[in-house]
């Protein structure tokens, strides 16, 4: 695994990241996932592939609420192991599978899925054109695509955020909605539609701020051990991120399309 991918996997396996985000690693949480599922007309006939599924919270939710089957793929073995043990307790476990793999080389046969989704992850893929072509390859004709992702106007992103850490945190290599559409269209997707979901971002940063303060207190009271954490730096970055969201440098978008 190259350095960029490795740092991304490490970031989402990190205790502090997981404490701050909970078990859903994307803005808008499962409410936004449900909205995407409705946009895609998800139903019990579908086989859904979630590319970069994290701890599998989305696919678990989809099989339970939309009656579909689902396959979750991620590079992180640790998060997949959490995903598998959460799914094992559910009645729907027979309709859910997890596989380790890279979005740029999906371990899935051609034309096998009716729906491909990916939430807040496309922005982290190093080779976005290859990842989009892989999503296209595994979809059956008539299959639907749903992405939700960070958008960033890179020309206005502060230098301080153009680092490997902020690549993993979905910022440094995110693109504009228009650039995502171009990449997807080049891979063959048709009927591309976008919905601005930027309102989910300040809600997410608000939740992260509360959890950061809780963590700081718990560490001070020696109730929690998170290793070396610079809470002041964390708050500074959070303030910067909120300003960038308010000034529309950073946004969040849902994109849907299909393979004809």
Ligand X SMILES: C[S@@+](CC[C@H](N)C(=O)[O-])C[C@H]1O[C@@H](n2cnc3c(N)ncnc32)[C@H](O)[C@@H]1O
Q: Write out the residues near ligand X by the rule CB under 6 A.
A: 5, 8-9, 12, 24-26, 52-54, 57-58, 74-76, 79, 102-104, 119-121, 124-125, 170
Least distance CB 148 / ligand X (angstroms): 8
Least distance CB 31 / ligand X (angstroms): 13
CA 1 centroid distance within chain: 19
Query: Is the CB of 46 or the CB of 102 nearer to ligand X?
Result: 102
Task: Report how far apart the first and last C-alpha atoms of the chain are (Å, whole number).
Answer: 33
Query: Is the CB of 202 or the CB of 218 nearer to ligand X?
Result: 202
Nearest CA to 136 out of 147, 148, 149 is that of 147
For 72, the 3-state DSSP assignment is strand
Instruction: State the pairing for strand pair 47-51/69-74.
Output: parallel
Nearest CA to 84 out of 61, 56, 103 is that of 56
Query: Is the CB of 134 or the CB of 219 nearer to ligand X?
Result: 134
CA 219 centroid distance within chain: 28
Least distance CB 58 / ligand X (angstroms): 6
Report d(CA 209, CA 42) in Å as an integer: 34
Least distance CB 77 / ligand X (angstroms): 10
Contact status, residue 106 vs residue 132, Cβ threshold 8 Å:
no
Query: Is the CB of 147 or the CB of 177 nearer to ligand X?
Result: 147
Least distance CB 50 / ligand X (angstroms): 7
Least distance CB 75 / ligand X (angstroms): 4
| Measured CA angle at 101 (ends 99, 104), to 5 deg | 140
Q: Tokens 């989305």, residue?
A: 58
Report d(CA 119, CA 26) in Å as an integer: 6
Query: Is the CB of 59 or the CB of 249 nearer to ligand X?
Result: 59
Query: Is the CB of 54 or the CB of 146 nearer to ligand X?
Result: 54
Least distance CB 51 / ligand X (angstroms): 6
Q: Where are the beta strands (DSSP E) in the chain?
A: 47-51, 69-74, 96-100, 113-119, 139-152, 190-196, 250-258
- State the DSSP code for 175: B
Query: Is the CB of 46 or the CB of 74 nearer to ligand X?
Result: 74
* Residue sitting closest to ligand X (CB): 54
């Amino acid at each position: 695994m190259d350095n960029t991918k490795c740092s991304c996997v490490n970031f989402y396996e990190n205790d502090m990241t997981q404490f701050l985000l909970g078990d859903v690693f994307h803005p808008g949480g499962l409410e936004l996932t449900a909205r995407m599922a409705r946009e895609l007309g998800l139903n019990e006939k579908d086989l859904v592939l979630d590319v970069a599924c994290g701890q599998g919270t989305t696919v678990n939710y989809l099989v339970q609420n939309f009656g579909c089957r689902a396959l979750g793929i991620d590079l992180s073995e640790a998060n997949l192991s959490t995903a598998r043990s959460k799914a094992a307790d559910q009645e729907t476990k027979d309709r859910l599978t997890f596989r380790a793999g890279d979005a740029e080389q999906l371990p899935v046969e051609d034309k096998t899925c009716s729906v491909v989704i990916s939430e807040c992850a496309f922005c982290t893929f190093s080779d976005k054109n290859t990842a989009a072509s892989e999503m296209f390859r595994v979809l059956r004709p008539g299959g639907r695509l749903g992405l939700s992702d960070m958008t960033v106007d890179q020309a206005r992103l502060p230098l301080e955020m153009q680092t490997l850490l902020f690549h993993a945190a979905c910022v440094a290599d995110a693109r504009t909605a228009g650039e995502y559409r171009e990449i997807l269209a080049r891979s063959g997707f048709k009927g591309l539609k976008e919905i601005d979901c930027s309102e989910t971002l300040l809600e997410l940063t608000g939740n992260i701020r509360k959890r950061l303060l809780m963590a700081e207190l718990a560490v001070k009271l020696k109730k929690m051990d998170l290793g070396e954490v610079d809470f002041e730096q964390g708050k500074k970055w959070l303030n910067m991120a909120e300003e960038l969201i308010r000034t529309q440098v950073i946004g969040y978008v849902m994109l849907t399309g299909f393979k004809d």
